[in-house]
Amino acid sequence: MNFVETIRAAGVACDNGSFPVVLEPEDAVDWLICSAVSAEPLAESESCLSAMQPERVVAAVSAIAEKVGAKKSVIAVRSDDGPAAQALAQAIATSHAPVELFRTDAYYPANDIPVLVHRITGRLIAERGIPADVGCAVCGVQQALDILAALEGTHVTDRYITVTGAVKRQLLLKAPIGSRIAACAAEAGPLPADACLIVGGPMRGKLLTAPSAIEATVVSRTTESIIVLPRDHPLRARGKQPLETILRRVKSSCGNCRLCTDFCPRYGLGHSMRPNRIMQNHRRGDKGLGNDEFSEAFGDAVNCCGCGVCDVVCPVNLQPRRVNAFYRGGIVKRGILVPRERQPEVRQTPGIRGIETDRLTALLGLSEYAGSHSFDLRELSADEVSIAFARKPGRNMYLIRSAGDHVEKGELLASDGIDFSIHASIGGTIVKIDASGAQIKA
């Protein structure tokens, strides 16, 4: 197997539009960028891993760079992330690896791929483009470590997850894929009564409030953090606001102040993304619009990356991100192909925007949980896992094993035959397996 086939067969997650999904076996790139940037408040697994395993991170980046023929290799880290930056700098110096450290400002979304690529290389990814379009490959720290493990012959079976927020002790938890999120959270100490959880960061993560939803959610191949919050936290009310209420409020309250657009990082990069314009067109209504008019009014929505900066800066709390998602759904439903600007120009005024991490943390009401880089490393021992076979649209999953089979950790369970392979995350008996997933009991 060549390099790309090896990492695909190992089950390395590649569903964020970045490395390695964009690479073909014959591809070579100018730049390899590994992001150790934890841009969302409290979601710090990339930073923690860098501080705890810096030698392996540098070794991973060096190995990948050699395989993809990168002329330059960079690890990006937040400028205020002292432990990760120092550990990585030391590992680079000791190993004499041809890897540079790039310190990016502490703001959100510093880890947005087009923003990161532009900051480091000056190259501009067009709207709906990918890093390979401009000669770059981008990966996260955990992805890089998974690739190194794949080159060493190991398959992806676990995730490193930070467990933070209203917990007794902050953890970097190594958990088998398919473990219960509730079990992961409980490792950090008893949960507050009626706690809610955010799986992922507070900006892009999924809010879980109902006990049944918390109980049903499991660690996926891309889970990075779990944030425990008390029941009265403001993020709970915000996440539960119905879409109908938001759409109605936009009509009555959007003053077209443009703050959402001025702070939008994709607008700053020169992409067609003007949330204030979508809000104004929503106020006018979409009744009777033909496809061309609909595309003209709401087409920007397909260029939204869902970062949520607009939600935070809106002075009247209108959540433009969810309005964008609503109209993106409308565009898909109508089958409209929105024209794509392939040569954007960075808008110097106001430039690439975003929001400082400290300010964002305060605005989200998370300051009391932030600021500590002290995480205990633990490993979760799960006696049962439910592994979801998330797959790409139009692809079939081929089941390699059957219900009743005994499997060892790391054995192949299913594959789409192209670039998606799923392995057993614990050893045990397969209780159930179908196209949607597998349940294994130790």
Closer Cβ to ligand SF4, 20 or 114, answer by number: 114
Closest CA to 432 of 397, 389, 386, 391: 386
Of positions 42, 136, 259, 364, contacts ligand SF4 by CB under 6 A? 259
Tokens 């109605």 — which residue? 248
| Residue 360 interacts with ligand SF4 (CB under 6 A): yes or no | no
Is residue 82 helix, strand or coil? Answer: helix
- Identify the sign of the CA torsion 187, 193, 194, 197: negative
Closer Cβ to ligand SF4, 151 or 257, answer by number: 257
Cα 415 from Cα 212, distance rounded (Å)? 30
- Total residues at interface with ligand SF4 (CB under 6 A): 26
| Residue 257 interacts with ligand SF4 (CB under 6 A): yes or no | yes
| Residue 322 interacts with ligand SF4 (CB under 6 A): yes or no | no
Contact 208, 214 (CB under 8 A): yes
- Identify the sign of the CA torsion 131, 351, 37, 382: negative
Residue 136 structure tokens: 């770059």
Q: Which amino acid is at 71?
A: K
User: For ligand SF4, what does the binding mask look like between residues 118 and 157, x meaning CB under 6 A?
Assistant: ----------------------------------------
State the nearest-atom distance from the C-beta of 304 to ligand SF4, in Å: 3
| Sole window of 146-154, 210-218, 240-248, 319-327 interacting with ligand SF4 (rule: CB under 6 A) | 319-327
Closer Cβ to ligand SF4, 188 or 264, answer by number: 264
Closer Cβ to ligand SF4, 154 or 317, answer by number: 317
Closer Cβ to ligand SF4, 305 or 424, answer by number: 305
State the nearest-atom distance from the C-beta of 305 to ligand SF4, in Å: 5
| Residue 202 interacts with ligand SF4 (CB under 6 A): yes or no | no
State the nearest-atom distance from the C-beta of 384 to ligand SF4, in Å: 37
Closer Cβ to ligand SF4, 13 or 304, answer by number: 304
Of positions 316, 337, 403, 431, contacts ligand SF4 by CB under 6 A? 316
Is residue 32 helix, strand or coil? Answer: strand
State the nearest-atom distance from the C-beta of 56 to ligand SF4, in Å: 33
State the nearest-atom distance from the C-beta of 130 to ligand SF4, in Å: 17
Q: Characterise 428 by phi-psi region: left (phi > 0), alpha (psi -120 to 50), beta (else).
A: left
Contact 17, 344 (CB under 8 A): no
Tokens 């880089």 — which residue? 373
| Residue 7 interacts with ligand SF4 (CB under 6 A): yes or no | no
| Sole window of 158-166, 255-263, 385-393, 397-405 interacting with ligand SF4 (rule: CB under 6 A) | 255-263
Residues 323-342 that bind ligand SF4 (CB under 6 A): 324
Cα 275 from Cα 259, distance rounded (Å)? 9
Residues 270-309 that bind ligand SF4 (CB under 6 A): 273, 275-276, 279, 304-309
Contact 227, 198 (CB under 8 A): yes
| Residue 260 interacts with ligand SF4 (CB under 6 A): yes or no | yes
Closer Cβ to ligand SF4, 113 or 273, answer by number: 273
DSSP sequence for 233-302 = -HHHHHHT--HHHHHHHHHHH-----HHHHH-HHHHTT-S--HHHHHHHHHH--TT--HHHHHHHHGGGG
Cα 133 from Cα 121, distance rounded (Å)? 13
Element (H, E) at 388: strand 384-388
Closest CA to 353 of 299, 313, 298: 313
| Residue 33 interacts with ligand SF4 (CB under 6 A): yes or no | no
Closer Cβ to ligand SF4, 115 or 196, answer by number: 115
By CB under 6 A, name the binding residues for ligand SF4. Answer: 254-260, 264, 266, 273, 275-276, 279, 304-310, 314, 316, 318, 320-321, 324
